[in-house]
Structures are given as C-alpha cells and as structure tokens.
A and B are shown apart, each in its own frame.
Chain A
Amino acid sequence: MEDPRNLWQTQEVEEMKFSVEELRAKAAKFQRRISWRNLREYLAALIVIALFGWNCWKETLLLPRIAFLMLIAASIYYMWHLHRWGSARPLPADAGSTSCVSFYRHELERQRDLVRNVWRWALLPLVPGLVLLDAYFIANTQPSARWHLVGAILFEAAAFIGVLWLNLRSARCLNRRIAELDRELGRV
C-alpha cells in the first residue's frame, strides 16, 4: 500500500544548488536585463518621437503641428505608463510575509487593472492628435481623393477597437478568476 505523501516525498528530483555568489551574479544579470529592456523602450520611444517631431518640424501650418505635438505627448505618456506599470519585475520583498491567497489576488488585480485601463493610457491619449490630423487632411484633400482617407480612418478605428476588445476580454477573464477566488474564500 503506497502512501501518496510518501510517494511524493521520496521521488527523485533535480535539486539545484546555488552559492550566494552565484545568486548575487544572477541578481546583477537580472538588473542588467531590465536596464537593457528599458534602454530598448526608450530608443523605440525616441524613434517614434523623432518621426512625429520630423513631421512637426516639416509642417508650416499650425494645426498639423499641434496634432504632431499631441501625438508626441501621447507617445511619451504611453512609454512612461508601460515602464511604470507593465514591466517585468522581481518578486516583491514581502513575498515571504504575504500569504499565497493575498499575493495571488494582488497579482491578478494588477494584471487586470493594466489591461482594463488600456483605453485610458494607450488609446485615449492618441485620439486628439489623430482626430486633429485626420480632420486637417480631410479639409485639405480634393473631395474626389477623400475615399483614401476614409479608408485610412476606418483602419485606424478598427485597430483601436481591436486592441480595446482584446484587452477588455483579457480583463474580463482575469475578473472571473478574481470572482472565483472570492467565492471560494467566501468573500461574496
């Protein structure tokens, strides 16, 4: 008769051993990886800003210039938000004093809030600049050529709706898991 606890505890496992020096080196490597990732994000932001900036500088009229400046501001805000809230991070220092239930719920909430608010930090800031730019182009395009612009605007709208839908679906899924957890804990 095999006791499952005995079966589990006497199984052969690959036990990894790390010296403290190795762990220090790994922690430093992890920090370097985060620094590199940050650098990549900043470079991407700089490229986007440079592209909008170039267009802004090239424009002679005030309206499109304002639109490009708005898009630059939206890109900076997006990068800042992603860096501040969405990045991979080491486990919080209190991971040993926080119960598994609290930790798990907090992680689910963090992920849910990030995706649920995507419209606020990723999409909405882009809207004023894009609307202004689209309006300017429509007003300054021959009526016969406007259908090209309508196509581009519809594409923009579809991309916005697609991103929003995917993120809201993900948020709903995370919400269901939080609700399920609460039900199990008898909180609701």
Chain B
Amino acid sequence: MVTTSNVRGQDDLYEQAASEFGAAVARLARGYEADPDKRRDLLQEIHLSLWRSLEGFNGSCSLRTWVYRVAHNAANSYVIRQRRARPQTMIGLDEIDALPIEPETDRKMALNQLTGLIQRLKPLDRQVILAWLDGMDAAEIGELTGLSSGNVATKVHRIKSILARDFQGGRNGRP
C-alpha cells in the first residue's frame, strides 16, 4: 500500500540519489549513447526509472549500488530496443589489443576515444568498465553486476592492461 510517508521517503531518496550520483549517472549515459539528443532521452528515462524504483528501496544494498543497477538496467533495456532498430556489432574486452591513442592526443580526444570504445563494448564488459572507471572496487562491481569475483577480477585486469599502455605508458608526462 502506498502511504504518504512512503511517497515522502521515495521523493527524499530520489533527491538524495540525484544530488549524490547525478553526475555519475550522466557519465554512465555517455557510455551508452553517443548522440546528445538521444542521450538526454536516455537520461530522462533513467531518472524516471530511478524515482519509480525507489518506492521499493529496502536498504538491502547501498543507495549507490541501487542507483547504478537501475541506471545500467534502464540503459541496457534502451540499448536492446535501439539495437532492434539499428543493429550494430559489439565487441568484447578480449577482442581489443589496446586503445589506439597516440602519444600526442589531447585530453578531450583521449576521452572521446575512450567513450567510443565503451559504447562499442558488449553489455557486461561495458558495465564493468563504467563501474571501474567510476571508482568502484571489485566487490562493488560484483554486487552491481552479479558477476563472480573471479570474473570481475579477470575483466578488471583486462581493462587495466588495455588502458595502461596508452594512458600511463604512451602519454608520458602529459597532463
């Protein structure tokens, strides 16, 4: 039964979630949709799903995990719908040798290339890389995705090796 206090709790939780994780959700949407107009639609869909879902938030996980789960699930649902309209090939982390970023690439271009890579990844790999880039540790990524710790560790190791060469090795001393 929906009571006034439930609604109040849902609204308060949403405001807290939006203020704490709004930027993270916006970055996540960027990893799913390249087109800015469509990205706004996706963001709106995520926020709407999040607000709706918080009616059932029971504290079984942290608010952060809840927000990320809803955001990823909404975005994935969006991608499945989009793929039916615009089929495109997705790749796995194990199919990438390295992110081809030239040493002279500036920050904005490096970011665009990283985003482009994320947008082409298969759903699970995309979720893991987005969570890792946003600062989650392996345990949090496991809780978010439902992947085993071994599976998460393998994927994170792969992500690090893909990114390390170009971001930390090839771009020596660049800000």
Contact = CB atoms under 8 A, between A and B. Distances in A.
Nearest to A19: B15
Contacts of B40: 14, 16
A11 interface: yes
B153 interface: no
A137 interface: no
Contact of A23 (B51, B123, B134): B51
Contacts of B147: 101, 185
Given A101-B146, A104-B124, A186-B151, A20 B175 contact: no
Interface string A96-117: 1111111110011001000000
B134 A8 contact: yes
Contacts of A153: none
Interface residues of B, number: 67
Contacts of B44: 16, 18, 26
Given A16-B43, A100-B69, A101-B146, A30 B132 contact: no
B132 A5 contact: yes
Contact of B22 (A15, A88, A102, A184): A15
A20 B14 contact: yes
Nearest to B19: A17
A180 B95 CA distance: 14
Contact of B73 (A4, A9, A91): A91
Contacts, number: 162
A186 B124 CA distance: 14
A51 to B, nearest CB: 30
Contacts of B172: 1
Contact of B144 (A1, A3, A88, A100): A100
A98 B8 CA distance: 24
B80 interface: yes
Interface string A67-82: 0000000000000000
Given A16-B40, A100-B123, A185-B147, 16 more contacts: A2-B167, A2-B168, A3-B167, A4-B133, A5-B134, A8-B111, A9-B133, A14-B40, A27-B51, A93-B56, A95-B69, A96-B57, A98-B73, A100-B145, A101-B124, A103-B73
Interface of A: 1-5, 7-9, 11, 13-18, 20, 23, 26-27, 30, 88, 90-91, 93-104, 107-108, 111, 170, 180-181, 184-186
